[in-house]
Structure 1
Amino acid sequence: MLEDFIPDILETLTVPPSPSAKPEPTPHREPVKISIIGSRRGVNSIIRTLYRLRFAEVMEWSPLQPTGNPGEFVSMLIRQISTH
Structure 2
Amino acid sequence: MLICRADVTDIWFDEDEALAIVEDSVIRLSPLAVTIWNLLETPLELEELGRQLEALIGPPPQGAMSEILTTFVEDLSRHHVVTVS
TM (normalized to structure 2)? 0.27
The structure having more radius of gyration, on CA atoms, is: 1
- Bigger helix fraction: 2
